[in-house]
Structure 1
Amino acid sequence: MLTNPDCLLARVLLGKYCQNDKLLRVEALNTSSHGWRGILAGRDLLVEHLGKVIGNGSSTTIWGELWISTDHAMLPSSPVKEDESDLYVSDLILIGTGKWNLARIKKILPALAEEIMTLRPSLTGANDSYIWYPVASGSYSAKSGYAAASAAALQVVTQPAALASVNWKKYVWNVGYSPKLKLLTWKILHEALPMGVNLERRGVVHNSTCIHCGATETTEHLFLHCPFAVQVWNLIPLKIPFNSIHCASFYSVLEASTSWVCLPPTGYSENIFYWVVWSLWTTRNHFLFESRHISQLEVAIKALGGAKEWSAAQLDSDASNNNTKVPTLPLLPSMPEETTTCNTDAAWNPISREAGLGWILSNQDTSTLQRSQFQTHVQSAIAAEALAIRAALSHTIHLGVTKIWLRSDSLGLAKAIASITKPKNLHGGVKWACRFYRKSHTL
């Protein structure tokens, strides 16, 4: 109903419920249907993150809509004079040029002049369009809407101080070990394993004793302080001997284990800590649920064996990847007759936000034409590349070129042009130029 108000469904609903007000402001009536009330509930979520991209500015009011930035919601906060309260953004654009009227902007919105100048109105008179701020493309989807609604309803949950200091990437998620070890480590640090004290705290069991020695089963006891675990650690051939009974916390051992080295002839020289913890946990479960007793030596051998198998599998995977045949790049298609080649490029200064644009036009009879342009208030490097393409397309239209082969060294921009959804900061630049050019030319 916002982007395609002429479709049949939009015409029916807008004609019935929005006769006296616009869709974004209309209130539900007592006679409104359940379906229309649901649409308004979705509308209320949409309005919080809905902005406008300026085309010709004729449908966007200066004071009542979010249009000043394509990155985040921003409303003008300057005092409104009576004779300026009903102005549209088109009143800030020089008629027929697609350029901002800087003098009038500084008069009406002096504090926002720099921000406004980074926006690029349409050179071809395209209509304004809506953007959805939470996503980079600016296009609303059910997924992004659900994420925005969930974020708004989510209550901030503070982590315990012990978890707040954990380097999750370094010690859990980015370690080069099996995913099952990462998940187990994450559960241990969150006290989420179904062991004695955790189950007793939740009222699941009343007996929280260790199955090996009868002491209270905590994380530190099961993996470090239990006599069974101490003997397992003593059987691991480390370069620097490890005495687990003197360790205060599981996380402190996890941090220290990054420097561990296994000695020969184990066949494994990396950090063995995660594998020993996994073996201790599975051994506890086998004994508890299957009455299978496994000795300390078997636990140590199982940990070393699992580590060696995983390491060997990664080496085999790397070898197969190295032997993969490198695909050859496809040949460029032959250029159709009477086609002009257009090479564009841009240089952008992030400090001054100035950009130099350049393009070279050449045809099959080897004649070339070079042009350049200077632009201020440019948001980003990709925006500068887009402006170079827009300037080149405007030039070719002026020259009467009907077939063009456009070439740019910006892969990100090329993907954006080819994709259905565009980055928000390109909506007012190259998007409309390409659309206008395709109407009567070959691109």
Structure 2
Amino acid sequence: MEWNVMAIRQHLPLYEDRILQIIPSSFKKHDELVWLPDASGLYNSKSGYELARKSLHTPVTAEYPWRKCIWNLNTAPKIQSFLWSALNGALPVGHTLLIRGLQAESRCKRLIFENKSWSEAELIRKVLYDARAWEEVSQAVKHPSPRCTRSALPTPELKGISCFTDGAWDPISGHSGQGWAFVDPAGDVIRHYSSNRLHVAMPIVAEALVVKAAL
């Protein structure tokens, strides 16, 4: 069973990648509505009243320190500079240019780049995707995977048919590959298979997928 990608793009386009990382059940269970505020998952007037009461008494918090935190964001320097300019009203938009005596159109124009145009939802989705990619690359640079050397292990004596599996995962794209092979007691490969899957959240999921496929 797989996700209905068209339905996701129609209703929740900003969460497409995160939703597709959830592996649907193979038992083809029907979707169910669950009321999260109660541990039973069922709605009751008590939990509904408590949720409404809390929402009416939202604690007042101090103003968020935007100026201080902009330079601490884990993002590209050009994004930090853009946010700082926006916060201080220094973006060269039409209204600001007119105030400074420059000839410009004060009304906001549609965003056009390389003869392409995007709707608001598409633009936000692109920004979120680029920000996530930048964060993943930054984390990979800060915390490179340690290189480990594997010592040669003695080949175990095979009794009966054995199945060997292996999964690979790309942390940048989230793509994964799976491979598995069946080997007879003599060590000869009887059959081998491979598959791949997009939108995989972590390497352990890639390993679980190959075990599931082999079974």
TM-score (norm 2): 0.37
Higher relative contact order (CA 8 A, sep 6+): 2
Question: Which protein shows a greater Rg?
Answer: 1
The TM-score normalised by the length of structure 1 is 0.19
Structure having the higher helix fraction is 1
